[in-house]
Structure 1
Amino acid sequence: MPPHNLSDFVKAYDVRGLVPEQLDVDVAWALGAAFAEVVILGEGGHGCVIGHDMRASSPELSRAFGTGVMSRGVDVTHIGLASTDGLYFASGHLGLAGAMFTASHNPAAYNGIKLCRPGAAPVGLESGLADVRDLAQGLLDGTAERPHAEPGTSEERDVLRDYAAFLRGLVDLSQIRPLTVVVDAGNGMGGHTVPAVLDTGAGLPALPLTVVPLYFELDGTFPNHEANPLEPANLRDLQAAVLEHGADIGLAFDGDADRCFVVDERGEPVSPSAITALIATREVAREVAAGTPAAEVSIVHNVITSAQVPEVIASLGAKAVRTRVGHSYIKAEMARSNAVFGGEHSAHYYFRDFWFADTGMLAALHTLAALGEQPRSLSEIMAGYAAYAASGEINSTVDDQAASTEAVRAWAADKQVEVDELDGLTLTHAGGEGDPMWWLNLRGSNTEPLLRLNVEAADVATMAAIRDDVLSIVRRD
């Protein structure tokens, strides 16, 4: 039996495993060699850029991966500490395939690898990662030949200032009104990137921002709270600090700082769907101002963003493009439709100007610009994007995903719903006079015996009733 079973921790979109039980230097080396052969050399590439987060295991693992890449004769550029979107920037800016060592918001015992092609194009199980996994497994268990190529070279390169300058060039904040901004980096990579972008850490011109830092110290043990702002408990310190400082806005980044969550001046979380609608409005307006007809502007959203997102896009005269949940699907659809922007319920935001990749920092800049370019508070601005009541994502452990899903389909048979199966089961009830609109999506996890439920409705009572009915069926209460 091989020393490691890579199928246990090579996921749909990335590598994510326990260190060292699953992911160690041998595995990292093998994955690096396989990535170089399958993706880089296999697609005519010539180099690889590698970055890593603040976890204690990240420097060693990233070096081992780089050694594996070089063993195939491929040159390596190490950029050191970086956010995931910093790695995507380097991949796009340098035209190189990339590897980012991070486990994002996962606890300290984990690490992982996010891989991309040149220009930050995604690598997932359906687009090369399965072949990388299989070759790496062969290298580990001795069934694949070890390389004999002339080793590639290695160089160090700091891209932080270039990253900051690039983002600042996409959104002009120089003329906004003064704002007080509390930022919770969660001891993650936001503590590295926020000073460079929002302060003067990269030597850029000062902005009219007073930044109040929370947990900017890089610490992969996450001593203050998990770097996962999707969990409400991890926003409490930010919410309290916004109120304490009378701030205009609060921003929270996850561990690798590719996602950004927003809190308004009242300390209330702002839905990522609302932020998606806000940024979509800005991006459509910018395209129209540049001479592109609104009807030719596309915005991508996934199946569980709020119904208000496509409604807002339609009201602007632009095209809403709906796709499956997951960054590889969003990025692929963005590239196919040349979409200017894409958003997910999980606070991943994608930009054509950023190689169709996701960047929480650019989303933060857009939100700051929208707030600072006019006199209203953030809660007043966002009130226009909060038409519906949402349950949030609710997970249920089930023995048989298919049977539970079919039971929900049967429950809805007499409810005048539109059925859609783009990603799981989506049921939409259009409603009418005195009959509130609602929709639900039930999706199975690819890796766990879970069903994920999202419900949205015209009012809280309807949302709660649908949510409770479906949960009782799924959980067989």
Structure 2
Amino acid sequence: MTDLSTLIKAYDVRGIVPDQLSAEVARAIGRAFAEVVAVPQGASRVVLGRDMRESGPGLVAGFADGVRAVGLDVVDIGLCSTDGLYFASGRLDAPGAMFTASHNPAAYNGIKLCRAGARPVGQDTGLAEVRVRAAELLDADPSQDEDDVLPGSLEETDLLADYAGFLRSLVDLADIRPLKVVVDAGNGMAGLTAPAVLGTDAGLDALPLEIVPLYFELDGSFPHHEANPLEPANLLDLQAAVVAHEADLGLAFDGDADRCFVVDEKGVAVSPSAITALVGLREVAREQAAGRPATVIHNLITSRAVPDLLGAADARVVRTRVGHSFIKAEMAAHDAVFGGEHSAHYYFRDFWFADTGMLAALHVLAALGEQPHPLSALAEMYTPYVASGEINSTVADAAAAAERVRAAYAEAYPEAVVDTLDGLTVAHWEGAHPQWWFNLRASNTEPLLRLNVEAADDDIMTKLRDDVLSIVRKEDA
């Protein structure tokens, strides 16, 4: 039987074209998605979108053929960001598929799937069944396909202007002070969406923003740098441009423009945890002003500043594991107004509980433009602790390495709180001195352990980081 486990992963589909992901494979996945997810949901159509990669049109066509073979209609919205596809899924109340490999190199492509209303499809919510059915379809004898189904229709439509107008309706920037903003699209889909949302390309009124564009040309070969702002090297051009243009801030988007990273006026990257706290407090205040209790979701590697600050604002704070399918499910289960991940994914109840980097950017612009202080001063308010960033270690046995760490810290700090919600988290925090916590998570696809450390000051963080790494990287006895 065809093995698609290296292609269809825990959260999405991702692989090299055409070796792993071809039009034939896309057709099988499209049909499997229609049979396993769309039809049981009662859907009559599926909405498709794609990023700027050259392989996109052929994969979309294959997937659409698979969907239509089941008798469902296809709405193709063409070039869009991933949050643009989520908008279409929510607005049209239809299951959707976004063809993108996000920040991966040009040789890759992939598919992010969702149910109607942009609800997630992950390993535990249908993706495993899609993988099994797609493999069956690829292994089947085409001559034995006796389905007598009238194929669904294909409609092409452009929803960019609707998407831009909807985001503008959620955050009012009309009366903020003038801001100069450098936007690095990384040759990805923000080159299409930023001029529509922040400018006038979608026919909207001009905002008090001066946009300095970097790499807005759509080019899936990523000629300037990888469209992955999580890597510090990919922020260097934006940081230099912010300083050179004396801008108020910079915004960097990944390839499919669902993540947004922020740089202050000094060219210093602002922690996504700080952005989670900033946007979260804005959304909590709005809920409370309407007389509603507010819940915010954060994943377990965000800064402790997030639950500290939001809890102090009388919000209910829910901690969840890393991964968009998990946090989206928690968002819906708790009717949370906002959610944030340290990877710079930001989720909004008013955006069908889905993630949208552009809406987070609008909140940052509003927060900055509604008061006179620079972004560095605002960010400092939301960054009281010191973090290591994510550090990867290649290990022969991830479970054994994590157990060595657990045993060492259980003995040295019996008062520390240990949990295994997502990997190993050891926290010496509430009422403790010194304050610190760390998390060790195993990669789903590689022999790696990912370490995140946070502490009350740099000295504590450095000592803790180095100690945990020494235990992780110690050879098995």
Q: Compute the TM-score of the two structures, normalised by the length of structure 2.
A: 0.97
Superposition pairs of residues 297-316 of structure 1, within 5 angstroms: 297-316=294-313
Is contact 1:438–1:455 with CA below 8 Å preserved after alignment?
A: yes
- Per-residue CA deviation, residues 69-88 of structure 1 (Å, 9 max, x unaligned), is 00000000000000000000
Which runs of structure 2 are paired with 1:175-254 in the superposition (5 Å)?
A: 175-254=175-254
1:176-227 CA distance string (max 9 Å, x none) = 0000000000000000100000000000000000000000000000000000
Label 1:143 to 1:277 Cα distance change in 2 as closer, same or farther (>3 A): farther
Q: 2:29 and 2:308 mapped to 1: Cα distance?
A: 43
Q: Following the alignment from structure 1 to structure 2, what is the Cα–Cα distance between the partners of residues 430 and 203?
A: 50
Residue 341 (structure 1) aligned with residue 332 (structure 2): no
| Matched position secondary structure for 1:49 | strand
Q: Could you tell me which residue of structure 2 aligns to residue 94 of structure 1?
A: 92
Deviation at 1:457, TM superposition (A): 0.3
The one of 398, 402, 416 aligned to 1:401: 398
| Identity rate, percent | 67
Letter of the 1:278 partner, please give it: L
Structure 1's consecutive aligned runs of 4 or more residues displaced over 4 angstroms after TM superposition are none
Partners of 1:436 and 1:459 within 8 A in 2: no
Q: Deviations over 1:130-181 (max 9, x none)?
A: 1111111011011796443110000001000000000000000000000000
Q: Deviations over 1:20-51 (max 9, x none)?
A: 00000000000001111111112211110000
Kept after mapping to 2: 8 A contact 1:251/1:263: yes
Shift of 1:305: 0.3
Instruction: Please name the residue that 1:321 is paired with.
Output: 318
Q: CA deviation at 1:63?
A: 1.2
Aligned residues of 1:71 and 1:148 also touching (Cα < 8 A): no
Partner of 2:151: 151
Given that 1:176 and 1:373 are in contact with CA atoms closer than 8 Å, whether structure 2 keeps it comes out as yes
Rounded to whole Å, the distance in 2 between the matches of 1:194 and 1:33 is 33
Who is 2:424 aligned against? Answer: 425
Tell me if the contact between 1:261 and 1:270 (Cα under 8 Å) persists in the aligned partners. Answer: yes
1:64 matched to 2:62 = yes
Aligned to 1:19: 17
Name the CA distance, whole Å, in 2 between partners of 1:94 and 1:432.
Answer: 49
Letter in 2 for 1:316: A
Distance 1:436 1:345 in 2: 23
Contact 1:54 1:81 in 2 (8 A): yes
- The answer (yes or no) to whether the contact 1:52–1:100 under 8 Å persists in 2 is yes
Query: Partner residue of 2:121?
Result: 123
Tell me what 1:36 maps to. 34
Q: CA deviation at 1:382?
A: 1.1
Amino acid at match of 1:447: T
Maintained 8 Å contact 1:439/1:457: yes
Partner of 2:80: 82
Identify the match of residue 363 of structure 1 among 348, 360, 363: 360
Give the CA deviation at 1:375: 0.6
**Distance (Å, rounded) in 2 between the aligned partners of 1:430 and 1:150:** 61
Q: Distance in 1 between matches of 2:447 and 2:184?
A: 33
Superposition map of 1:425-464 within 5 A: 425-430=424-429, 435-464=433-462
The equivalent position to 2:379 in structure 1, one of 374, 379, 382, is 382
Secondary structure, counterpart of 1:333 in structure 2:
helix
Cα separation, 1, equivalents of 2:73 and 2:430: 59
Is the 1:431–1:438 contact (alpha carbons within 8 Å) kept by the matching residues of 2? no
Could you say what secondary structure the match of 2:5 adopts? helix
Distance in 1 (alpha carbons) for counterparts of 2:316 and 2:6: 39
Residue identity matched to 1:93: R
**1:330 maps to 2:327:** yes
1:430 CA displacement: 2.4
SS in 1 for 2:176: coil
Which residue, 3, 6, 26 being the options, matches 2:4?
A: 6
* Number of residue pairs aligned between Structure 1 and Structure 2: 471
Quote the residue 1:45 is aligned against.
43
CA distance in 2, matches of 1:206, 1:330: 34
Return the alpha-carbon distance in structure 2 between the equivalents of residues 33 and 390 of structure 1.
45
RMSD over aligned Cα atoms: 1.2
The Cα offsets for residues 254-294 of structure 1, whole Å up to 9 and x where unpaired, read as 000000000000000000000000001100111111122xx
Query: Partner letter of residue 66 of structure 2?
Result: G
Gaps of 5+ in 2: none
Residue 360 of structure 1 deviates from its aligned partner by 0.2
**C-alpha separation between the residues in 1 aligned to 2:362 and 2:148?**
47
Task: Say if 1:92 and 1:381 are closer, same or farther in 2 by CA, change over 3 A.
Answer: same
Give the conservation status (yes or no) of the 8 Å contact 1:444–1:451.
yes
Cα offset, 1:447, TM superposition = 1.4
